[in-house]
Structure 1
């Protein structure tokens, strides 16, 4: 049973579904429970799964996203509708069918984050309401490396980041490549001092050396033993400082 915001993606373009799915996977509060490649299959999926949110493309053959949204209005439990499309001209029609938001392809991470915040507000969603409890983490993180399984102590990990379809795990002396999504690794590291300053990064708080002002209220962090400066989204600066400072 899922404890997050139950979400489905309906789009006839596989690349767009994959891109949106990848971006949504970065949010701990979002659980993707299904995908469909047509309006008809999307309607059946929504009736069967009863999601909280549906991301729907507009331009689809046979049943369009608009027609799907109209059909959903007759349901007892209607999901929140977010239109995800390459065409800006449909915005007015989108809101006439009571869509909560309208995001354009190619997807912008900041815009998507604003959309997720709107969804959470609409649902009165709070992480504490999920009833999840997290046992203290023990053991080591298993990572494949040239056919071997290497066991990393969390304290040896400096930071992780997502690159295309891989998660890169950085220690002082080595980089390990994993196919495991960063969100899943973050769950495994619960109980250790790791923090998500940006959707694509997870850092070890014990390895942060500097917090450097950057642009428009955003910051970057410098990690021990690394020349790379990692971005900190504006929404996370306050929480990061609270976690870091006495």
Structure 2
């Protein structure tokens, strides 16, 4: 049968949780490896079990599904999220949290089949035109618009307080994604972490200038500012840059 998609189902209502598990078990490529009845339990299960996907109820007391999804972005392995809710008004907010899909209660077989198909194309890459490809754009949402940035035009990325800022050749964008998540999405491209708060596109590096105590400053083509390079990253940075 090949590889299966591991899943955790999260819902504070037992009946809804059991109903969704029953419908998902109709699909042999989905393997239910856990369930959770609260947002806090969902985070713990994600840490312990490292599933491929969480089927996540949005309306839960204390810690709702949107808050769970935000917390999970800090994990080393960030699971895909499929939100579940009785209220279609949550759709826009769900996709702001990078949801793969969105299913409505009461659950129906056909929407769940479509969701499973989408997960199989995404996670198993079998029989899909997407096989072997790398996403070519980084999506940045601003108010009601989504801007798609070409990675080769991004010069550097840094964390500023509670937002991550993405600097390209013309302007600076803001995203609520963590720096770690942006780093993971840019991994196929020529980005390198030079500091705990900075990623830089190596294509734009112009000069490495000694500073003090083993640290350096980095100059980029077309930019006036200098970026700090932590001494912990200098050796590996030079290996990446030099022939």
TM-score computed with the length of structure 1 as normaliser? 0.50
Give the distance between the partners of 1:52 and 1:125, measured in 2 at CA: 14
Give the distance between the partners of 1:54 and 1:23, measured in 2 at CA: 15
1:124 shift after superposition: 3.0
Aligned to 1:77: 77
Aligned to 1:19: 19
> Does the 8 Å CA contact 2:6/2:51 hold for their aligned counterparts?
yes
Give the distance between the partners of 2:39 and 2:20, measured in 1 at CA: 17
Offset from partner CA, 1:95-116 (integer Å, 9 cap, x none):
0010010000011111110000
Q: Which runs of 4+ in 1 moved over 4 A?
A: none
Give the distance between the partners of 1:24 and 1:97, measured in 2 at CA: 23
Aligned to 1:89: 89
1:12 shift after superposition: 0.1
1:169-180 aligned within 5 A: none
Give the distance between the partners of 2:36 and 2:120, measured in 1 at CA: 23
For the residue of structure 1 that corresponds to 2:106, the secondary structure is: coil
Task: Supply the RMSD in Å over aligned alpha carbons.
Answer: 1.5
Give the distance between the partners of 2:101 and 2:3, measured in 1 at CA: 23
Offset from partner CA, 1:63-113 (integer Å, 9 cap, x none):
000000000111111111000111111100000010010000011111110
1:45-64 aligned within 5 A: 45-64=45-64
Give the distance between the partners of 1:75 and 1:31, measured in 2 at CA: 21
Give the distance between the partners of 1:27 and 1:80, measured in 2 at CA: 18
1:44 shift after superposition: 0.1
- Structure 2 unmatched ranges of 5 or more: 128-243
Give the distance between the partners of 2:119 and 2:32, measured in 1 at CA: 14
1:43 shift after superposition: 0.3
Offset from partner CA, 1:46-76 (integer Å, 9 cap, x none):
0000000100000000000000000011111
Aligned to 1:5: 5
Give the distance between the partners of 1:53 and 1:24, measured in 2 at CA: 12
Aligned to 2:117: 117
Give the distance between the partners of 2:56 and 2:41, measured in 1 at CA: 12
For the residue of structure 2 that corresponds to 1:32, the secondary structure is: strand
- Structure 1 unmatched ranges of 5 or more: 128-246
Give the distance between the partners of 2:113 and 2:42, measured in 1 at CA: 24
